């Protein structure tokens, strides 16, 4: 898969963008370059990409805004933020915007290559695992393959990470899902700041399931989460 993947690179630094594009193409990836946020969004609309690499500090439209707009067009496309900013708040903002990884400049080319490979492999594995999986949660029905949660006559479209997290909870139904397991399987890293982002996804899942009294997601302090389903 990795040798056929198509990457959208959005980077405004002329020198760095040229080096990165050449390096990614050397690795076998088809790489399309954009030099500002608006151009990046237009190129994303014009073609299908397996991965997006976005600088945060971009002209016309910053990387966080661009990521949010990309997510509105395609919830499945993985995103890596590439930035010189290393503040923790930026990392949390990035993950809330839907990114899959966050690399702070300067970085090694080997690190970037390994992270790209890991994300593409993880996305492929999540897609394969979720096929034809349907879970009954009280009166709710979770269709993992189509990212859909049906509850009380309403249909909620989930993001890929929301669906992956709910799937793991379903597979551990009425049992503990350790935080580190969820972080590693879905985000690829048990980093503290990614953990804060995961808490946001748990809150969203609780909101989607709030009208089903037989279902709850509880915190096991400092350890993980438990999807509790009362059998009718």
pLDDT of residue 36: 95
pLDDT of residue 66: 93
How many Cα atoms sit within 13 Å of 116 on the Cβ side?
29
pLDDT of residue 218: 94
pLDDT of residue 221: 83
pLDDT of residue 128: 54
pLDDT of residue 124: 67
Q: Which domains does the chain have, with CATH numbers?
A: 2-128 (3.40.50.2300), 132-229 (1.10.10.10)
Mean pLDDT by groups of 10 residues along the chain of 232 residues? 76 92 92 95 91 92 91 84 71 74 83 87 64 83 89 88 90 92 79 74 93 93 90 68
- Cα angle 15, 17, 18 (rounded to 5 degrees) comes to 65
């Amino acid at each position: 898969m990795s040798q056929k993947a198509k990457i959208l690179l959005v980077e405004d630094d002329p020198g760095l963008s040229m080096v990165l594009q050449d390096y990614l193409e050397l690795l076998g990836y088809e790489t399309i370059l954009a030099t500002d946020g608006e151009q990046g969004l237009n190129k994303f609309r014009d073609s299908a990409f397996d991965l997006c690499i976005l600088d945060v500090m971009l002209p016309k439209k910053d990387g966080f805004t661009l990521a949010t707009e990309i997510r509105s067009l395609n919830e499945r496309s993985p995103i890596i933020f590439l930035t010189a900013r290393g503040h923790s708040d930026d990392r949390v903002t990035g993950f809330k915007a839907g990114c899959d990884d966050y690399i702070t400049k300067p970085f090694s080319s080997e690190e970037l290559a390994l992270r790209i490979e890991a994300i593409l492999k993880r996305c492929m594995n999540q897609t394969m695992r979720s096929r034809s999986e349907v879970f009954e949660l009280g009166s709710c029905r979770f269709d993992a393959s189509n990212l859909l949660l049906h509850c009380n006559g309403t249909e909620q479209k989930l993001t890929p990470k929301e669906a992956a997290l709910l799937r793991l909870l379903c597979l551990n139904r009425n049992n503990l899902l350790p935080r580190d397991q969820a972080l590693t399987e879905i985000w690829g890293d048990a980093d503290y700041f990614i953990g804060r982002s995961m808490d946001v996804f748990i809150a969203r899942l609780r909101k989607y399931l709030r009208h089903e009294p037989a279902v709850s997601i509880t915190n096991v302090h400092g350890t993980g989460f438990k999807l509790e389903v009362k059998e009718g």
